[in-house]
Amino acid sequence: MSAPIRRVPVGKTLLLSIVTVGIYYLIQVYRTSHDLHQNQEGGTQSWQVLFWIGLFFAIPMYVLYVLNFLQAKRLRDRTGVPESGTGLAAVIFTFIPVIPALAQFLWASYFNALATHIGGPASGAPGIPARA
């Protein structure tokens, strides 16, 4: 069973992340991770553990970013969404000090292309096809 993937509102996330000193950004990471891994074939159930431990230690959050990228890539391949290169660039930028803030725009672009194709309940998008 597949669940819809929500779009990441870039402007809202940026503004609210600044106003809330990064808390809203963490909410978006949680939502995106949930959409990518819950009820999606190939998703890992350990994403929640990585998220919560990642609030206190950096390495689990980096592992979660990589798992999100790999899951999004699997879903993009399965649904026929063309690879743009922004996902890999976001992974690389996440590991360079100071640049992770810029990486979030690349993540949003990467996930939004997938969300547009898969869509939510009101989008009319075809959804993720079942594996044969």
Residue 32 lies in a domain: yes
The model's pTM is 0.69
> For the chain, how big is the Rg over CA atoms in Å?
14
pLDDT value of residue 1: 47
Residue 130 lies in a domain: no
**pLDDT for 32 beyond 50:** yes
Residue 55 lies in a domain: yes
Residue 57 lies in a domain: yes
d(CA 123, CA 120): 5
Number of domains observed in the structure of the chain: 1
pLDDT value of residue 122: 45
Helices marked H in 1-131 — which ranges? 10-19, 23-37, 47-54, 58-79, 86-94, 100-118
Residue 4 lies in a domain: no
Structural domain harbouring 67: 10-118
Closest C-alpha among 88, 106, 104, 122 to residue 16: 104
Which residues, 6+ apart, have CB-to-CB distance to 98 below 8 Å?
A: none
Residue 30 lies in a domain: yes
Residue 125 lies in a domain: no
Residue 3 is classified by DSSP as: -
Residue 24 lies in a domain: yes
**pLDDT for 132 beyond 60:** no
